[in-house]
Amino acid sequence: MGHPVAHFEVMGANPARLREFYTGIFGWSTKYPPRPDDPLEYTMISTGSSDQAIEGGIGKAQQGSRFLTFYVAVGDLAATLAEVEARGGATVLPPTQVGPAVAIAQFTDPDGNVVGLLRQG
């Protein structure tokens, strides 16, 4: 059994415009709006109601940057990063707790594309 894509992020200069763009085109809804004190203006997005729909986030990228990242669900972030590095990738973000039951990590593939890893539980 493979590891499913579990989360995505769309980050750019104008998060409000990005939210309007993606929710308008695809009918996605805002699950959690950004907190007033959040410099990333990060919004959790629901893409649908089926069991197969993944959720994502839209927020503000660092000055001048923009990116789209998908996150793959894995059981062991550190072990997966070790496998990534053994196959020619590189760790960008080591395992980082982002919520009570969610941790993420990021790596680049051999061509430099950033991919995220997500562990829940």
Whether the CB-CB separation of 81 and 62 falls below 8 Å is answered with: no
Domain residue ranges in the chain = 5-120
Check the CA dihedral 20-25-2-89 and report its sign: negative
The pLDDT tens digits for 2-31 are 888 999 999 999 999 999 989 998 889 988
CA dist., res. 34 & res. 30, Å (int): 10
Q: Is the pLDDT of residue 89 over 90?
A: yes
Q: What is the pLDDT of residue 103?
A: 97
At 96, the pLDDT band (50, 70, 90 cuts) reads very high
In CATH terms, the superfamily for domain 5-120 is 2,3-Dihydroxybiphenyl 1,2-Dioxygenase, domain 1 (3.10.180.10)
Q: What is the pLDDT of residue 1?
A: 67
CA dist., res. 17 & res. 43, Å (int): 12
CA dist., res. 111 & res. 27, Å (int): 33
Q: What is the pLDDT of residue 85?
A: 95
Would strands 55-60 and 5-12 be described as parallel, antiparallel, or unpaired?
Answer: parallel
Tokens standing for residue 33: 């709006």
Q: Which of 8, 12, 21 is nearest to 64 (CA)?
A: 12
Q: Is the pLDDT of residue 63 over 70?
A: yes
pTM: 0.78
